[in-house]
Structure formats: C-alpha cells, structure tokens
Amino acid sequence: MTSKKKILVIQKIHEVGMQLLDNNPNYEYEIIDAEEMITKVDPELLKKKIEDCDALSIRTEKLPGEIINQGKKLKVISRHGVGYDNIDLVATKKNNITLTITSTANAIAVAEHVMFMILNISKGINMYNNAVKSGNFGDRNKLPKTIELWNKNILIVGFGRIGQCLIKRCLGFEMNVFVYDPFVDYETIKSLGGQKVEKLEEAVKIMDAVSLHLPLNDKTRNLIDINLLKTMKKNCILINAARGGIVNEKDLNAALNQGLIHGAGLDVFSKEPPDENNPLLKNDKAFLSPHTAPFTEECMQRMGKETIQNIIDFFDNKLDKSKIVKL
C-alpha cells in the first residue's frame, strides 16, 4: 500500500482548493496559519513541520533557505499567486525542488483592479464622493476637471497573462496601448492590439498612464525612480499592481508632491504592511489598496484550486510546464 503524500499548507487557501485534498485518498495535510494575512508564522515551527512533508503550498509567508533546507522529503512548493520573491530560489534549486505558480488564476482580477485604479484617479472619485457627502453638491463647477481615457496613451510594462488581460480592457476604453517587454515579440503584441516599444526611458515620455506587470528582481528593483519620473508627462498616472520594490516609494512621493505626474495607484509596497511613517499613506495623490488586486471571490477560488491542483499534477506527472518557475 502506497503511503499518503503529506502536504503542509502555509496560510489558509479557499475551501475549493482544500476539497481537492479532502476528496483524494492519496494525500493528507496540515494547515499552519497566523491571525493576520500578512503573517508572522514562527520560523522554528516551520522548520519542524517541513521535515517530513512531500509538498507545501504557500501564500505570502517568507520561506528562507534555512527552512527549505530542513525539508528532506520536499519535492514541490506550490505558490498561491504568481510572485515568488518571498521564496529562496537558490535553496529551492539546490534541493532540486520544483516551484509552481498559479499562472492562470489571477489575471482577470488584477487587470480589473488596474482599471479600477486608473478610473478612480482619472475621474476623481474620492473628490466627487466627498463633495456630495459633505453637503457641497453646489461646488461641482468649482472642482478640478477630470480626465477622459479615450484616445489616451497607456504603457503596459510586462506582457504576461495579466498584461494581456489588461490590454483588452484598455482597448475597450479606446486607449492607445503600448507594450514594453523585451521577451515578447512584435507580432504577438500587434495581434492583440498593442504597439511594441523598445526603450522604456523613451516610451514613458509620451504616456498618459503606465501600468507595471513584471517580477521583482535585481534588474527591476527601483526601476521607477525619480530620474524616470521626471521624464513623464504631468498628467501621467502610474499604477503598480506587481511588486512594491519596483517603484522607489520615496522618489514617487517626491514626484507627486512636485507635480511631476498626476497621480499613482499602488496595490503593493516595498514593505507590507507599509510603515506608518511611509509618506505615501498621507499623500492625497496616491490611491492605495492593501495588496488586494486578486481578492475577488472568483479569483480566490481559482487560486486555491490551482495551488492544490499543481501539487497533485506534479505527483501524477501531469503538471503544465508553463506553471513551473525556471530556476
């Protein structure tokens, strides 16, 4: 009789995903969670629990090499999401562990969230809402005029699944869509209605909006800094629903205060939760959300299911290669 595979679930996922394990006699699992979504799971507890696990699923919890190295039976790490900067890739590769992501689950939700942020900033939603609720309906002619999206230029930086979902929504608003992604060819971008640009530094100069959709690594850290922000149009809207470290937050705050760009929408931060003294928290030109772009009910179901299905498919030798991170 084949022994059951043991799965360590670090941070709860949607019950739809857990049902896949409940209904499969080949697996058993244990859930380790903390009170807050931005977790602080005891590292010593993780070291102990990971020792006899065949697989684990993980959301945003940090997974350093010292913990991964304790997983002597560990064969696969399934990331609930698409970013994996919380996982030590060197240790993962050294221990011959497969790392998977939920590459097909969150694109729609994140793309919609980006449009939500662009519309909030361009249309002054908070300004209008506050005016009416504070009894200043008559001030409507005194308020600053808002911005149309029609015929505006938007640059999508990174053209994976999220970027490709976003372009459809931008074209629906009849925007002119440009794409910066060195790894996607001209014909693919053109076939989806976009125009490929070769140089980020030149492209941002003519954009009315810039939306970031790329991983955080040594090449992308602080990609958006004061030097780049200075070249943008004063009416430009910057959106980051990728990873916080891609944008230099100090530089962004300065750019907003100096009127270098119109506004910014951030769903991610270099430190989460952000420090209470982070100046962007008090900047009226910054529209913020707490890393919740994929937090639709539908998306959380898809992500939970795909997280567990990736583990099952791995052991059944059916795992889609597009869901495996190249280490």
Q: Are strands 195-196 and 176-180 parallel, antiparallel or unpaired?
A: parallel
Written as one letter, the residue type at 3 is S
Q: pTM score, two decimals?
A: 0.89
Calculate what percentage of the chain has a pLDDT beyond 70: 97
- Distance, CA of 121 to CA of 123 (rounded, Å): 6
CB 70 within 8 A of CB 52: no
Please give the pLDDT value at position 2. 65
- Distance, CA of 124 to CA of 110 (rounded, Å): 21
Q: Over 80: is that where the pLDDT of 1 sits?
A: no
Mean pLDDT across 11-34: 93
Mean pLDDT across 255-259: 98
Q: Where are the beta strands (DSSP E) in 22-66?
A: 27-32, 55-58
Residues 195-234 have pLDDT tens digits of 999 999 999 999 999 999 999 999 999 999 999 999 999 9
- Distance, CA of 53 to CA of 24 (rounded, Å): 17
- Distance, CA of 21 to CA of 25 (rounded, Å): 8
Mean pLDDT across 7-36: 91
- Distance, CA of 26 to CA of 10 (rounded, Å): 20
CB 118 within 8 A of CB 170: no
Q: Over 90: is that where the pLDDT of 38 sits?
A: no
- Distance, CA of 263 to CA of 294 (rounded, Å): 22
Please give the pLDDT value at position 131. 94
Domain ranges in the chain are 5-105+297-323, 107-288
CA nearest neighbour of 13 among 94, 85, 93, 106: 106
- Distance, CA of 186 to CA of 85 (rounded, Å): 29
Q: Over 60: is that where the pLDDT of 251 sits?
A: yes
**Burial bucket for residue 303 (CB in 10 Å: 0-12, 13-18, 19+):** buried
Which residues pair with residue 153 across a beta bridge?
A: 176
Q: Over 90: is that where the pLDDT of 3 sits?
A: no
What pLDDT band is residue 235 in, cutting at 50, 70 and 90?
very high
Calculate what percentage of the chain has a pLDDT beyond 90: 93
Please give the pLDDT value at position 41. 80
Q: Over 70: is that where the pLDDT of 5 sits?
A: yes
The first and second tokens of residue 55, run together, are: 């697989």
Decide if 5-105+297-323 and 107-288 have a common fold: yes
- CA angle at residue 43 from 39 to 47, to 5 degrees? 130
Residues 147-188 have pLDDT tens digits of 999 999 999 999 999 999 999 999 999 999 999 999 999 999
- Distance, CA of 124 to CA of 104 (rounded, Å): 32
Please give the pLDDT value at position 34. 63
CATH 3.30.300.30 fits 5-105+297-323, yes or no: no
Average pLDDT over the chain reads: 95
The secondary element (H helix, E strand) that includes residue 2 is none
Q: Spelled out in words, what is the top-level CATH class assigned to the domain 107-288?
A: alpha beta
What pLDDT band is residue 37 in, cutting at 50, 70 and 90?
very low
CB 108 within 8 A of CB 165: yes
Residues annotated as part of the active site: 243, 272, 291
What pLDDT band is residue 72 in, cutting at 50, 70 and 90?
very high
Using DSSP's 3-state secondary structure scheme, residue 75 falls into coil
